[in-house]
Amino acid sequence: MLGPVSRRAAVVAALIGFALPLAGCGSPPGSGSPTTTALFPPRPVTVDVSGLHPCDLVDGTRRAEFGLDAGRPGEVTIDGKRSPTCTYLGRTPKIDSSVQFLPIPATDLARAPGTELGSLGGYGVVRSLDSSVSLPGCDIIVDIADDTSLRTQSQALPANLRSADSNDDVLCDRSRDLANAVLEELADH
């Protein structure tokens, strides 16, 4: 069983591991990326996250609902652009989560193999499940602007899922619920 420091290292490694491949997800020059409306429903509103940090969008009440500790702010760089993150370690069950602003259109991420499209609160969503043996996880990426996406991720060690009598599906449920909570908070800004 990993302790908090080891779990934090695993979550940070997963964030970095996710961010690095994104740098190559842009459309080739001259290819013309698909429009948002081709893949997703029209957004209820375009969300501007400038001046906001993901850690400011999940308050103590919400963290308690999700069984998360206080978030740890971070930042990665994707294609030379900042991508602020907030990593939360899970208490009970031990499902770790993160919230991130990606400087990438959700339409670019929708083309990745194994993704599923859907919607949440009227916004287009890309869902990606990683059922790895060592650290399964689920990403929900929400189309909030032409050049920015909201990403929530939940991960857990298989032993933690078993001890909570859960499976990988609970990770996507958690990511979706967390994305919904963040969207509600963004609506107030």
Rounded Cα–Cα distance for residues 67 and 94 (Å): 8
CA distance 2 to 150: 28
- 189 pLDDT tier (thresholds 50, 70, 90): confident
Residue 117: the pLDDT is 96
pLDDT at 10: 47
* Token pair for 150: 């909201």
Helix (H, G, I), strand (E, B) or coil at 115: strand
pLDDT digits (tens, 9 = 90+) for 58-93: 999 999 999 999 999 999 999 999 999 999 999 877
Residue whose entry in the numeric block shows the structure tokens 């990326």:
33
* Secondary element (H or E) of residue 160: helix 158-163
Phi, psi of 16 (to 5 degrees): -65, -40
Name, in order, each residue with C-beta under 8 angstroms of 156's C-beta and a sequence gap of 6 or more.
Answer: 90, 93, 94, 95, 96, 135, 136, 137, 166, 170, 171
**Higher-scoring residue by pLDDT: 108, 27:** 108
